[in-house]
Amino acid sequence: MADTVAAALKEKLFLGETLFPNSEGYKRSITSWQQSPHRCPAPRPILAVRPRSSRDCALAVKAARDNGLTLTVRCGGHSMEQTFLQDNSLLVDLTLMRGVFVNTDARTASVEGGAMLGDIDAETTLYGLATPLGLARTTGMGLVLHGGFGIASRMYGLSCANILAATLVLADGSVETVSAKKGDQDLFWAVRGAGAALGIVTKLVLQLHDVSDFWGGIVLFKDDEQHDTLRKLLHWQRDHAFPNKQIAMSVYYTCKPGVGRLMMVMMGFFGDKSPEEKARAVQHLRDLEPMQDFLGKMSYLDYQNAHTQFSPTGDDPKPHEFCRSFYGTLTLSQATDEFLKGFIRICDTCPYNKLPATLLMVDACGAAYGQHNGPVGYTADSDFAVLAQPAWTDVHYHEAAAALCEQGQMKGLLRDAGGLGDMYANVAGPDARLVSRVGGEDNLKRLREVKQRVDPHNVFTAHPFKGL
Ligand X SMILES: Cc1cc2nc3c(=O)[nH]c(=O)nc-3n(C[C@H](O)[C@H](O)[C@H](O)COP(=O)(O)OP(=O)(O)OC[C@H]3O[C@@H](n4cnc5c(N)ncnc54)[C@H](O)[C@@H]3O)c2cc1C
Identify the residue among 5, 143, 332, 450 touching ligand X (CB under 6 A): 143
Select from 8-16, 47-55, 194-202, 236-244 the region that touches ligand X (CB under 6 A).
194-202
Rounded to 10 deg, the angle between the 337-349 and 409-416 helix axes is 150
Residue nearer to ligand X on the CB measure, 195 or 418: 195
CB of 277 to ligand X, least distance (A): 28
Smallest distance from ligand X to CB 31, Å: 11
Strand partners, 251: 265, 362
- Under the binding rule (CB under 6 A), the answer on residue 423 touching ligand X is no
CB burial readout 417-426, b (16+ within 10 A) else e = bbebbbbbbb
Closest CB to ligand X among 140 and 342?
A: 140
Q: How far is the CB of 284 from ligand X (least distance, A)?
A: 26
Closer residue to ligand X, CB minimum distance, 159 or 237: 159
- Side chain identity, residue 141: M
195 binds ligand X (CB under 6 A): yes
Burial of 116 (0-12, 13-18, 19+ CB in 10 A): buried
Residue pair 77/142 in contact by the 8 Å Cβ criterion: no
| Cβ atoms within 10 Å, residue 71 | 23
Tell me the closest approach of the beta carbon of residue 283 to ligand X, in angstroms: 28
389 binds ligand X (CB under 6 A): no
Compare residues 168 and 404 and give the one whose CB is closer to ligand X: 168
Using the rule CB under 6 A, give the single segment among 10-18, 73-81, 98-106, 409-417 that binds ligand X: 73-81
One of 16, 45, 76, 418 touching ligand X (CB under 6 A): 76
Q: Could you check whether the bond before residue 41 is cis, i.e. omega within 30 degrees of 0?
A: yes
Task: State in angstroms the smallest separation of the CB of 203 from ligand X.
Answer: 9
- Is residue 94 within the footprint of ligand X (CB under 6 A)? yes
Q: What residue type is assigned to position 30 of the chain? A: I
Listed ranges 141-149, 291-299, 397-405, 430-438: which one lies at the site for ligand X (CB under 6 A) = 141-149
Strand partners, 254: 262
Dihedrals φ, ψ of 248, to 5°?
Answer: -110, 140
Q: What angle (nearest 5°) sits at the alpha carbon of residue 341, between those of residues 403 and 157?
A: 85
Within 107-136, which residues bind ligand X (CB under 6 A)? 113, 134-136
Minimum Å distance from CB 428 to ligand X? 10
Positions in the binding site for ligand X (CB under 6 A): 33-34, 73-80, 83-84, 94, 113, 134-136, 139-143, 145-150, 195-196, 200-201, 310, 426-427, 462
